[in-house]
């Protein structure tokens, strides 16, 4: 039975091993904080409110969330007494709530939205009271182990620190993602105690409570254990980038994009690319972008986000693009910076072109507009705001500070001098 859904995201842990002044969940993977990746996946499940439990460095997390994710509510857990205690704290905001609550961690940013949607659907279809996500790890060290009975039913979760040697051999682990029917089972959260090896309140004890109290308790096993990879250190952060990178490249190749060198290509998950586009080696694409079909990008191109590239475009060596709309059949092939710009169709940008979009004194960024068919000579600087009209031609080496009309030649080059026989004068 489909129910209203809210989420609780646990993010109060200190993240000591990051050795950072920045709270762990604000560290970024492909320019997006860990917590943002979790919230965006959670939002896709239809969660109407995300209650984020914060502690250490909480103000920064709170500020970030209030600016970026309006449906998030903050709860402060003053002392970190365990995951169960964190959920008890969130329960203050869920008094008398009768829907489902999805619980997950702020430091597992690789969870896919499709997986969370399937997980919540499974919970609803089975009319479950408590559903817990599990995964099988070759090396399960550190994780809570899933204990099943003879009928393969979930019995309880035992933490590594409370486990004996036999339990430690179990490879099925708790992913740390739960869906709980709050009407039937939130009382179980209130009853969690801290009588264990770590003297912590474990959210995992809700499983045992559910079994004792005849609730419907189900495990939901996922295939790809990478999805629940948790970030605890800088090394984990780098590993997570590689997992997301490979996942994205595979997705693009499956959809018909050629990736010439999968070892040196970085493409953010938020970039869309259409079939028959070729990505050459050492390309870095960050942020949100749309790239059309039959384009050639690279080698050594850097797209910094908010770029729309239409079909049949070439972006070449050492070209940096930011907030740029490049229309069909336009070439930007060498040593160029294009920022805050609109480039029309069939535009040619010569080598070494710069759009000077930023005034460092006023901090104002301005736009460069280059209309259809214009040709920009090599080593041109266009000082924004400026517009180059249709089919206009800019002479190489120009510094353009004023608009150039359609079909005109714009040129700021000093006339060439030639001093005859200069070498033989003996000066
Ligand atoms: C937890 C699970 C374990 C599971 C693993 C999956 C428990 C007791 N154990 O272990 O079974 O295999 O996750 O990754 O739940 N947090 C708070 N407040 C606290 C404590 C933790 O908000 O008082 C947050 C942390 O910031 C983190 C999450 O809860 O985001 C998980 O806490 P952590 O201490 O990392 O749990 P694990 O020992 O990894
Ligand atoms: Ca953890």
Tens digit of pLDDT at every position of the chain (427 positions): 788 999 999 999 888 999 999 999 999 999 999 999 999 999 999 999 999 999 977 999 999 999 999 999 999 999 999 999 999 999 999 999 999 999 999 999 999 999 999 999 999 999 999 999 999 999 999 999 999 999 999 999 999 999 999 999 999 999 999 999 999 999 999 999 999 999 999 999 999 999 999 999 999 999 999 999 999 999 999 999 999 999 999 999 999 999 999 999 999 999 999 999 999 999 999 999 999 999 999 999 999 999 999 999 999 999 999 999 999 999 999 999 999 999 999 999 999 999 999 999 999 999 999 999 999 999 999 999 999 999 999 999 999 999 999 999 999 999 999 999 999 876 5
CA of residue 269 to ligand 2 center, whole Å: 24
Q: Using CA positions, which residue lies closest to atom 3 of ligand 1?
A: 144
Residue 5's φ and ψ, nearest 5 degrees, are -130, 135
pLDDT of residue 342: 98
Cα–Cα distance measured from residue 331 to residue 352, given in angstroms and rounded to the nearest whole number: 13
Cα–Cα distance measured from residue 172 to residue 137, given in angstroms and rounded to the nearest whole number: 6
CA of residue 232 to ligand 2 center, whole Å: 7
Is the CB of 110 within 6 Å of ligand 1?
A: no
Q: Are 160 and 145 a contacting pair, CB within 8 Å?
A: yes
CA of residue 74 to ligand 2 center, whole Å: 20
Residue 173's φ and ψ, nearest 5 degrees, are -120, 160
pLDDT of residue 370: 98
Q: Which atom, in ligand 1's list, is nearest to the CA of 230?
A: 14
CA of residue 200 to ligand 1 center, whole Å: 10
Is the CB of 29 within 6 Å of ligand 1?
A: no
Is the CB of 147 within 6 Å of ligand 1?
A: no
Q: Are 366 and 384 a contacting pair, CB within 8 Å?
A: yes
CA of residue 161 to ligand 2 center, whole Å: 13
Cα–Cα distance measured from residue 223 to residue 240, given in angstroms and rounded to the nearest whole number: 17
Q: Are 302 and 324 a contacting pair, CB within 8 Å?
A: no
pLDDT of residue 13: 87
Cα–Cα distance measured from residue 379 to residue 393, given in angstroms and rounded to the nearest whole number: 13
Is the CB of 105 within 6 Å of ligand 1?
A: yes
Q: List the beta strands (DSSP E) in 188-270.
A: 217-221, 258-259, 266-267
Q: Kindly give, in sequence order, each residue whose CB lies less than 8 Å from that of residue 197, ignoring residues fewer than 6 positions away.
A: 159, 161, 162
Beta pairing, strands 381-383 & 399-400: parallel
pLDDT of residue 427: 57
414 exposure class (CB count in 10 Å sphere: 0-12, 13-18, 19+)? exposed
Q: Kindly give, in sequence order, each residue whose CB lies less than 8 Å from that of residue 424, ignoring residues fewer than 6 positions away.
A: none
Q: Which atom, in ligand 1's list, is nearest to the CA of 143?
A: 12
Is the CB of 75 within 6 Å of ligand 1?
A: no
Q: Are 343 and 349 a contacting pair, CB within 8 Å?
A: yes
Is the CB of 140 within 6 Å of ligand 1?
A: no
- Residue of 27, 302, 325, 334 marked active site: 334
Cα–Cα distance measured from residue 139 to residue 96, given in angstroms and rounded to the nearest whole number: 41
Q: Give the Å distances, CA to CA, from 267 to 119, 272, 289.
A: 28, 9, 10
Q: Which atom, in ligand 1's list, is nearest to the CA of 11?
A: 26
pLDDT of residue 426: 63
Q: Using CA positions, which residue lies closest to atom 11 of ligand 1?
A: 144
- State the chain's maximal CA–CA distance in angstroms: 106
Q: Using CA positions, which residue lies closest to atom 8 of ligand 1?
A: 202
Q: Using CA positions, which residue lies closest to atom 6 of ligand 1?
A: 176
CA of residue 23 to ligand 1 center, whole Å: 16
| Residue 334 known to be catalytic | yes
Is the CB of 167 within 6 Å of ligand 1?
A: no
pLDDT of residue 14: 82
Is the CB of 176 within 6 Å of ligand 1?
A: yes
Is the CB of 292 within 6 Å of ligand 1?
A: no
Cα–Cα distance measured from residue 350 to residue 206, given in angstroms and rounded to the nearest whole number: 65
Is the CB of 13 within 6 Å of ligand 1?
A: yes
CA of residue 13 to ligand 2 center, whole Å: 9
pTM above 0.75, yes or no: yes
Cα–Cα distance measured from residue 427 to residue 421, given in angstroms and rounded to the nearest whole number: 12
Element (H, E) at 252: helix 234-254
Q: What angle do CA 259, 29, 9 make, to 5 degrees?
A: 130
Top mutation candidate among 51, 176, 180, 203 for ligand 1, by most atoms within 8 Å of CB: 176
Top mutation candidate among 7, 13, 132, 145 for ligand 1, by most atoms within 8 Å of CB: 13
């Amino acid at each position: 039975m489909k129910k209203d859904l809210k989420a609780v995201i646990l993010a109060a842990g200190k993240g000591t091993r990051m050795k950072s002044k920045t709270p762990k969940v604000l560290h970024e993977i492909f320019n997006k904080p860990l917590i943002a990746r979790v919230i965006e996946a959670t939002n896709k499940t239809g969660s109407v409110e995300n209650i984020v439990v914060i502690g250490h460095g909480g103000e920064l997390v709170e500020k970030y969330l209030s600016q970026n994710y309006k449906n998030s509510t903050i709860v402060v857990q003053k002392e970190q007494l365990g995951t169960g205690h964190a959920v008890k704290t969130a329960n203050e905001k869920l008094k008398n709530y009768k829907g489902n609550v999805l619980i997950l961690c702020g430091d597992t940013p690789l969870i896919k939205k499709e997986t969370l949607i399937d997980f919540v659907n499974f919970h609803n279809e089975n009319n479950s009271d408590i559903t817990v996500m599990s995964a099988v790890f070759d090396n399960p060290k550190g994780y809570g182990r899933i204990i099943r009975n003879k009928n393969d039913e979930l019995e309880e979760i035992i933490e590594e620190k409370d486990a004996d040697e036999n339990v430690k051999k179990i490879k099925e682990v708790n992913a740390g993602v739960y869906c709980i029917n709050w009407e039937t089972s939130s009382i179980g959260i209130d009853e969690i105690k801290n009588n264990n090896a770590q003297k912590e309140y474990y959210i995992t004890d809700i499983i045992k409570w559910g079994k004792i109290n005849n609730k419907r308790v189900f495990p939901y096993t996922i295939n790809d254990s990478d999805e629940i990879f948790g970030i605890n250190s800088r090394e984990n952060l780098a590993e997570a980038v590689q997992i997301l990178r490979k996942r994205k490249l595979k997705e693009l190749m499956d959809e018909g994009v050629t990736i010439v060198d999968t070892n040196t290509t970085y493409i953010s998950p938020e970039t869309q690319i259409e079939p028959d586009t070729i990505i050459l080696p050492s390309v870095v694409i960050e942020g949100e972008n749309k790239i059309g079909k039959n384009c050639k990008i690279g080698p050594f191109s850097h797209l910094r986000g908010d770029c729309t590239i239409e079909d049949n475009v070439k972006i070449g060596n050492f070209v940096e693009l930011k907030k740029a709309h490049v229309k069909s059949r336009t070439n930007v092939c060498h040593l160029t910076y294009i920022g805050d710009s609109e480039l029309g169709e069939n535009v040619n940008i010569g080598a070494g072109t710069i759009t000077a979009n930023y005034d460092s004194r006023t901090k104002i960024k301005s736009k460069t507009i280059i209309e259809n068919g214009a040709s920009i000579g090599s080593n041109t600087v266009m000082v924004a705001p400026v517009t180059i009209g249709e089919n206009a031609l800019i002479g190489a080496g120009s510094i353009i500070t004023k608009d150039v009309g359609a079909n005109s030649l714009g040129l700021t080059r000093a006339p060439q001098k030639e001093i005859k026989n200069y070498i033989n004068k003996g000066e």
